[in-house]
Chain A
Amino acid sequence: AQKITQTQPGMFVQEKEAVTLDCTYDTSDPSYGLFWYKQPSSGEMIFLIYQGSYDQQNATEGRYSLNFQKARKSANLVISASQLGDSAMYFCAMREGLEYGNKLVFGAGTILRVKS
């Protein structure tokens, strides 16, 4: 079974609008972390935001926020006020408990295109 599912292969958003990128996950471990990374065409992996399984509040980092719905096992990324520079591939990833080490499991990714 897929541990991380990103169902949107590609998304378009108008500049200055908000966009939500979907991510659902599957784990039986009570302790886990969820991450979002941005990968521009250069290939570098840019860490955006993190949500721990025990965190009570949704994580926010500037224009990025994570809509964490634990019961639904979803961790959607919301980008507010989209900019042209937000066009990139976005990956959702999960790290499970200590016995898995620091391994990250990545979703298939969503390509975001911001239109002017």
Chain B
Amino acid sequence: GAVVSQHPSRVICKSGTSVKIECRSLDFQATTMFWYRQFPKQSLMLMATSNEGSKATYEQGVEKDKFLINHASLTLSTLTVTSAHPEDSSFYICSASPRWASGASTQETQYFGPGTRLLVL
């Protein structure tokens, strides 16, 4: 159980176009989903936290208009990179937090998707 999928796994696009990445929790309802960005050989950087039915909370320095996040249902969140540029090329990972992961004392926290490699030419 607790499987999270991401689509697409890889995407190459031209500069100036928009790219949408989907994150789905396949066998559980996710009250919260997280979007991370990771550059090669670096750590995961949290971009935003999204709760179903409400606006995403962005981390400092992350452009809201650039990275649009929609969490339309308890099993789906999308990240749209608008007007992508080569510097947006990165590995984007989502994670989903199930309803029952509500306490800091539990190991249940976030289940990660397999990631999406974005290359902007």
How many whole Å from B4's CB to the nearest CB in chain A? 10
Q: Which residues of A contact B38 (CB under 8 A)?
A: 43
Report which of A91, A95, A107 forms a contact with B109, defined as CB distance below 8 A. Answer: A95
Interface pair B112/A102, CB less than 8 Å apart: no
Given A43-B114, A44-B115, are A104 and B109 neighbors across the interface (CB < 8 Å)? yes
Does A103 touch B at the CB level, under 8 Å? yes
CB of B54 to closest CB in A, whole Å: 13
Per-residue CB proximity of B93-119 to A under 8 Å, as 1/0? Answer: 101010001111111011010110100
B29 to chain A, nearest CB (A): 14
Total count of chain B residues near the partner, CB < 8 A = 26
Tell which of B19-27, B43-51, B61-69, B77-85 binds the partner.
B43-51
- CB neighbours (8 Å) of B104 from chain A are 29, 31-33, 52-53, 95-98
Check if B34 is an interface residue, CB within 8 A of chain A: yes
Is B42 part of the contact surface with A, judged by Cβ < 8 Å? yes
A78 CB to nearest chain B CB (Å): 18
Inter-chain contact A108/B110, CB cutoff 8 Å: no
- How far apart sit A98 and B105, CA to CA, in the bound complex (Å)? 10
A103 to B110, CA, bound (A): 8
Min CB distance, A70 to chain B, in Å? 14
Chain B residue contacts of A96, Cβ below 8 A:
104
B41 proximity list for chain A (CB < 8 A): 89, 109, 111
Docked-complex contact B117 and A43, CB < 8 angstroms: yes
In the assembled complex, the CB of B61 is this many whole angstroms from the nearest CB of chain A, namely 15
Contact sample, A vs B, 29 pairs, CB 8 Å cutoff:
A29-B104, A31-B104, A33-B104, A33-B106, A33-B109, A35-B109, A43-B38, A43-B91, A43-B93, A44-B112, A44-B114, A44-B115, A45-B93, A45-B95, A45-B112, A52-B104, A52-B107, A91-B44, A96-B104, A98-B102, A98-B104, A102-B32, A102-B34, A103-B34, A104-B34, A106-B44, A108-B43, A109-B41, A109-B42
**Which residue numbers of B lie inside 8 Å of A, CB to CB?**
32, 34, 38, 41-44, 46, 49, 91, 93, 95, 97, 101-107, 109-110, 112, 114-115, 117
